[in-house]
Amino acid sequence: MRLSALTIYALSFAGFVIDGAAARSESSDAPRVSFVRDVAPILVGKCQGCHGPKTAESNYRLDTFDLMMQPGDFGLPPVTAGSVDESEFHRLITSEDPEERMPNNGDRLSEREVASIDAWIAQGATFDGADRTASLRTQIPRDVPHPAAPANYSSPLPVTALAFSADGGRLLTGGYHEALIWDPATGQLVSRLGNMPQRIYGMAVSPDNAYLAIAGGAAGVAGEVRLLAWADGATSGDAAKVLATGEDVFFDVAFRPDGKELAAAGSDGSIRIFDVATGVERLKVSNHADWVTDISYSADGASIATASRDKSSKAFDAATGRMLASNSELGAPVRGAVFAPDGKAVISVGGNGARMWKIEDSTTIGELPAFQGETQAIVSHGDNVLAASADRSVREFKIADRTQVRSFGEHPAWVLSLALNETAHRLATGCFDGTVTVWNLDDGAKVTQFLAVPTVTPPAK
């Protein structure tokens, strides 16, 4: 339903319907709308990408409350407290003209979102946060739920994150504001875990199968690291601990081998380490000059390897955060990094292939045989590693002499993500077109292949 100033609309969070005139009045019976809980999450998620500190179309910004209330190029007050009809903000989000309606480069706001904003304006457009000049993202309470995932997807999403449960009995993929849980033997959807960041870029299940960690967010707008009780998927996104938030996405998470700590990789160039039991951030290291895209622990948990868009791969002491070594010989953004079994070398992959380098002096030992496209991801498998490429291949190599062991078939699109489970002897590969394939690690045979969406709605004719 398209909304205007005169339409009837549902205040679904209140459980009843009121008309436009009622929304414009200060009724004592109407539920109070909180700016920081109800309105700010909409602005951050749907509007800040075009009207924030990095991009301010029409010279209008709404990344702080004070800026939101100031006119842009057209000189009209965005919000007139107490009057929906006189508020330019309302007119733009409900316009019937697709060239004028905001958001201009995405889906229109939902009925509930428009109703929340209108009710807040009608009730006086008050600010109930701590600082009118601070980033809206920092004003939003961490327990505010994310929007519900769509019942059906209009098209598949690139599979940017995969994870097996500890026993290999479940496979998780990232969806839109949700994680999807699958049976890796059949490719059947088992359940959907909501209240997640808009997109998930990294996920991991703890070695004891007790926790699920999520890294994600909305690109260029906000990001977060979430920790949930797992228990084979019998959990709820509503019960998650939000360990960290940021102005942009988090790309990866990794549990220390003993499961007691969690490391996270951020687009702000930082790595963060959290105590799993308490959720407290123990250490933050800001050493990279650009996105940290991948993070992994050594087998003994003493060291951390990172990959970064700043064209370097680094190794750090996991206890202190002290940098142990850095290698930039790939000469291109690095997308993945894992340790050799002895912890004395790192294998890093990126735009120019894959290299193995020594932590002792940061020098390159050798290269893996070249792929025909950018190398997107890498995982370790005993004395071997498996790497995925935009050339639609996944290959396994011996670390000792870097010779190829086998290739895991040809995929229908770029392979973006990998997950491996030693217990079940399974490898999962995720593609740009939404395809997930499960393979037998022992012989490279395909177990199942499926499209990682709950259901797909055919496009309107």
pLDDT in tens, 162-211: 999 999 999 999 999 999 999 999 999 999 999 999 999 999 999 999 99
Q: What is the model's pTM?
A: 0.82
What confidence score (pLDDT) does residue 238 get?
A: 54
Q: Is the pLDDT of residue 2 over 50?
A: no
**Residue 458 pLDDT grade (very low, low, confident, very high; cuts 50, 70, 90):** low
Neighbours of 32 (CB within 10 A): 12
**Residue 1 pLDDT grade (very low, low, confident, very high; cuts 50, 70, 90):** very low
408-414 contacts at long range (C-beta below 8 A, 24 or more positions apart): 408/437, 408/439, 408/444, 409/437, 409/439, 409/444, 409/446, 411/435, 411/437, 414/373, 414/376, 414/389, 414/390
Q: What whole-number distance in Å separates Cα of residue 41 and Cα of residue 137?
A: 8
Q: What whole-number distance in Å separates Cα of residue 430 and Cα of residue 434?
A: 7
What would the mean pLDDT of 1-13 be, rounded to a whole number? 27
pLDDT, tens digit (0-9, with 9 covering 90-100), for 135-151: 888 888 877 888 889 99
Neighbours of 412 (CB within 10 A): 14
The two three-digit tokens of residue 242, written as one number: 């939000």
Mean per-residue pLDDT of the chain: 88
**Residue 9 pLDDT grade (very low, low, confident, very high; cuts 50, 70, 90):** very low
Q: Is the pLDDT of residue 284 over 50?
A: yes
The two three-digit tokens of residue 77, written as one number: 């007050």
Residue (of 370, 371, 338) closest to 356 by Cα position: 338
Percentage of residues in the chain having pLDDT higher than 90: 69
**Residue 222 pLDDT grade (very low, low, confident, very high; cuts 50, 70, 90):** confident
Q: Is the pLDDT of residue 310 over 90?
A: yes
Residue 438: C-alpha distances to residues 122, 157, 185, 408, 444 (Å): 53, 18, 8, 10, 10
The two three-digit tokens of residue 163, written as one number: 């994870």
What confidence score (pLDDT) does residue 29 get?
A: 58
What confidence score (pLDDT) does residue 17 get?
A: 28
What confidence score (pLDDT) does residue 64 get?
A: 92
Query: Which of 139-148, 240-249, 323-332, 401-410 is the least confident region?
Result: 139-148
Task: Give every CB contact of residue 309 below 8 A, 6+ residues apart in sequence.
Answer: 290, 291, 293, 333, 334
**Residue 234 pLDDT grade (very low, low, confident, very high; cuts 50, 70, 90):** low
What confidence score (pLDDT) does residue 55 get?
A: 84
DSSP string, 186-216: TTEEEEEE-S--SEEEEEEE-TTS-EEEEEE
What confidence score (pLDDT) does residue 30 get?
A: 66
**Residue 236 pLDDT grade (very low, low, confident, very high; cuts 50, 70, 90):** low
Instruction: Tally DSSP H helices, then E strands, for the chain.
Output: 6, 30
Query: Which of 2-6, 42-46, 114-118, 374-378 is the least confident region?
Result: 2-6
**Residue 233 pLDDT grade (very low, low, confident, very high; cuts 50, 70, 90):** low
Q: Which residue has the higher pLDDT, 46 or 320?
A: 320
CB 420 within 8 A of CB 164: yes
Strand 393-398's sheet: what is its strand order? 375-381, 384-389, 393-398, 404-410
What would the mean pLDDT of 426-430 be, rounded to a whole number? 98
**Residue 237 pLDDT grade (very low, low, confident, very high; cuts 50, 70, 90):** low
Q: Which residue has the higher pLDDT, 271 or 238?
A: 271
Q: What whole-number distance in Å separates Cα of residue 310 and Cα of residue 289?
A: 6
What confidence score (pLDDT) does residue 429 get?
A: 98
Percentage of residues in the chain having pLDDT higher than 70: 91
What confidence score (pLDDT) does residue 46 get?
A: 83
Residue (of 136, 161, 344) closest to 245 by Cα position: 136
What confidence score (pLDDT) does residue 4 get?
A: 28
pLDDT, tens digit (0-9, with 9 covering 90-100), for 387-406: 999 999 999 999 999 999 99
The two three-digit tokens of residue 338, written as one number: 């894992």
